[in-house]
Structures are given as structure tokens and as C-alpha cells.
Amino acid sequence: MTTAFFHASLHRARRTVFAAALAASLAALSGHAMADDFLELAKTKVAAATAPKTKWDGPTTGPKAAADKTIVFVASDMRNGGVLGVSKGVEEATKVIGWKVRVLDGQGTVQGRTAAFNQAMALKPAGILLGGFDAKEQATSVKKAAEAKIPVVGWHAAKESGAVDGLFFNVTTNAQDVAEIAALYAVAKSEGKAGVVVFTDSAYAVAIAKSNAMAEVIKKCGGCTLLGVEDTPLADTSTRMPQLTTSLIQRHGAKWTYSLGINDLYFDFMGPTLQSAGGMAKNLQNLSGGDGSESAYQRIRSKRFQAGTVPEPLSLHGWQMVDEINRALGSQPPSGYSTPVHLVTAENIANDGGPNNSFDPGNGYRDAYKRIWGK
């Protein structure tokens, strides 16, 4: 090997090493830039979701109130705080619009809901409202109502809002948006370094959709770690969560900094375990993508064992359900309105109904519906 050839080979090797190092550096810089961009996006979206809800962004036109109607609200289970809250919104709205409403309790079982739906049909109402259960479960009854020209409006009766599964309209906040904002809060507050466990319940399609959305957000965060997705039934949280929490602390230790649940119920039973564990466990940040229970509000206000929740505006949704029935009776299409997400934290809990442990937007929705109905 000549000296010239040796030096040329050495030069090429050095250029190759330099090029590889440069490419790695550029990739790292690009990765950091992308991570920074995602973190800024998370902070921007969180800021929008936590802002006070002062402007009405729903419908402003529609049919005047139909006269002297009776509707029936078929509840999945009146022990459920969300269903109860929506039913109260319906009762409030029907008084304003000049109608009557009957509330029938499905008592938490398929058989109970079937019996309540059959009873609702026997009353021959102007419309039927489904509160908190899947319309597909009662597909036969929904079809019979359609054949009898009785419009059916749901609340949380399908995975998405809209005219789906035989419903005139399903009233809900977009489940994907709800899940994403909870996860984005973890990204934003941790400065892109959250170690996350997600809690879900595979018995519900909407729960799986939410937990999948949460997991995808965490995966997009370059500095975050998805420690796991725990599938545990909502109905068994009181018995399962204490032991599961202990197991997760032992498994993940200080790496576990944030929890994301598809419902506040998971965090109702974690407090004593976290308290006794001490250390990092006491500082664990829990966030719920859905519900907004009274106990969640209390935990957030006291800054103990829950950092945030994404609640539904239960009363507003009750008013919207009545409005959608009125549109159906007026032979008009549904409003198409889906309420935007709202994230409750300790910083904004004094706004939008927070002092009453509920999300009741200060956007004038009652007056807006009164104007539409001519009341």
C-alpha cells in the first residue's frame, strides 16, 4: 500500500465518520426541534381548553317551541352522577320550553333499560331521550321508535356526536378531543418528560377509543414514556385500585409521574394508597379524560391526588337534547353542535360552575336556547 493511497483512504474514512456524526447531530437537532414544537403545541391547546367559557359557540337559529309536548328521558342508571346531571338539565329546559318530561330509570342493567324503553314507547311521547347508554344495545327499540315517528336523541349513546346508530342526534363532547387534552396536559406540565400509566375499561368502546388516543399523544412526546395501559373495570375500582396502585408503584417507582384515566372513578380509590406510600407517590399527578365528578372537583381544589378533569357540561347537554327534539318535531335537521373540551385544574376551578363542583359554562347557553324557542 503506497503512502498516498493510505492517506487517501484515511481521509475518506475520516470524511465518512464526520458525515455520520454530522447526520446524527442534525437528526438530534431535528428531533429536539420536533419535541419542542410538540411541547409548544401541547401548551397552546391546554391554554385554550382551560380558558373561561364566556362566548356561546352553539346554534343561534332553529324552530320556535312546539306546543304542549311530553317527552321521556330513559336513564341508564340514575345513581350515575353524569346521567343525573343531564336529566336535571332536561327537566330545567322542558319547563322553559313549556313541555312535560317523564324520567324512567334503567337501574344499571340491560334488562332494566329495555323495560324502561318499552314503557317509554307505551306512553307514546313526542320524543325519547337516552341518557348514558349505547343506542346499539337497544337497537330494536330505537328502530321501533323510528317506525312510530318518535325521534330519539341520545346523550353518550354512541362514540361520537351526530346522527348515528338510528338516533336523530347524539349529544356529547368529542371523546377523542377529551382524551387528547388530558394527555396534552401531562405533556405540557411535565415539560415533555411525563412517565404515564393509562387506565381504561375494555368493556366500553368509547373507553378504548379514549385510552388509545391518550397513548398516541404520549408516544408522540419524544421525552415522555408510556409505562403501560391498565385495563380494569370501572365497576370494580373500589376493590381493584388500591392493590393495583401498590403494584404499579413497586413496578415503576419514580418513573411513574402521571396517570391518565378515562373516568374520574379510578382516582376515587387511589388516595389512601398514595398517602401511605409517601415519597414520589404523594406527588403523582392524576388526570381524567371524562366525567367531572363532584369528588374530582374536590380533589382538584385541594390539590390532593388529582390535577385535572375534562368534564361534560351536563346541564347544557340536557338543554341541547330538548332543542334537538324540538328540531326533529319542526322537521328541521339537528344542530350539529358538539361542545368544545374544557379542562378543569386548580388554576381555573373558580370559573364556569366550579364552586358548585360542576362544569356549567358561563357562555349564556340558556338565553341562547330561549331566544331560539321564542321564550
Sign of the four-CA dihedral 72, 73, 76, 78? negative
Q: What is the DSSP string of 298-354?
A: HHHHHTSS--EE----HHHHHHHHHHHHHHHHTT-------PPP--EETTTTTSTTG
pLDDT mean across residues, the chain: 90
pLDDT of 4 = 46
Please state which of the ranges 6-10, 313-317, 353-357 shows the lowest mean pLDDT. 6-10
Per-residue pLDDT tens over the stretch 77-121: 898 778 899 999 999 999 999 999 999 999 988 999 999 999 999
Whether residue 225 has pLDDT greater than 60: yes
Q: What percent of the chain has pLDDT over 90?
A: 78
pLDDT of 27 = 42
Per-residue pLDDT tens over the stretch 250-279: 999 999 999 999 989 899 999 999 988 888
pLDDT of 205 = 76
pLDDT of 96 = 98
Please state which of the ranges 34-43, 247-256, 317-326 shows the lowest mean pLDDT. 34-43
Please state which of the ranges 133-147, 180-194, 274-288, 324-338 shows the lowest mean pLDDT. 274-288
Whether residue 370 has pLDDT greater than 70: yes
pLDDT of 137 = 93
pLDDT confidence tier of residue 185, bands split at 50, 70 and 90:
very high
Higher-confidence position of 7 and 267: 267
Please state which of the ranges 179-188, 272-281, 320-329 shows the lowest mean pLDDT. 272-281
Per-residue pLDDT averaged across 4-27, rounded?
43
Residue keyed to cell 332494566: 112
The secondary element (H helix, E strand) that includes residue 25 is: helix 3-50
Per-residue pLDDT averaged across 173-189, rounded?
95
Higher-confidence position of 7 and 91: 91
Whether residue 26 has pLDDT greater than 50: no
Whether residue 171 has pLDDT greater than 90: yes
Residue 82 CA to residue 325 CA, distance in Å, equals 20
pLDDT confidence tier of residue 14, bands split at 50, 70 and 90:
very low
How would you list the strands of the sheet with 70-75, edge to edge? 100-105, 70-75, 127-131, 152-155, 169-171
| Alpha carbon distances (Å) from 333 to 242, 314, 325 | 48, 23, 10
Please state which of the ranges 95-104, 154-163, 200-209, 254-263 shows the lowest mean pLDDT. 200-209
pLDDT of 181 = 97
pLDDT confidence tier of residue 34, bands split at 50, 70 and 90:
low
